[in-house]
Amino acid sequence: MKAVAIKKDLTRAKATADFQAMGVLRCDTCGDDFVIYHSPAFVDRSAADRQAYWLEKVLADEHERDKKHADRIESPD
């Protein structure tokens, strides 16, 4: 796993200790905050920006389908 987004209120319990926080994304619909983490070997600001854009679409799609956000969402790249 290179990158993962974890709900902000759960980050201490679920984040891998070595992973680096790359930013926070707030769901426009419900206000849930997700922290994007990268593994130490994969830290990349431009990748984090792409992942934030992707995550924004995933969260919006989940609301359209009346699906609850997962606590942890792995990035496809």
Candidates 43, 28, 35, 42; CA nearest to 14 is 35
State the pLDDT at residue 10: 72
pTM for the model stands at 0.87
What total number of domains does the chain contain? 1
Residues of the domain holding 34: 3-74
Read off the pLDDT of each residue in 39-62 and give the average, rounded to a whole number. 95
User: Where do we find the tokens 């989940």?
Assistant: 62
Candidates 55, 67, 65, 64; CA nearest to 27 is 55
* Phi-psi sector, 19: left (phi>0), alpha (psi -120 to 50), beta: beta
CA distance 2 to 23: 15
pLDDT in tens, 52-68: 999 999 999 999 999 99
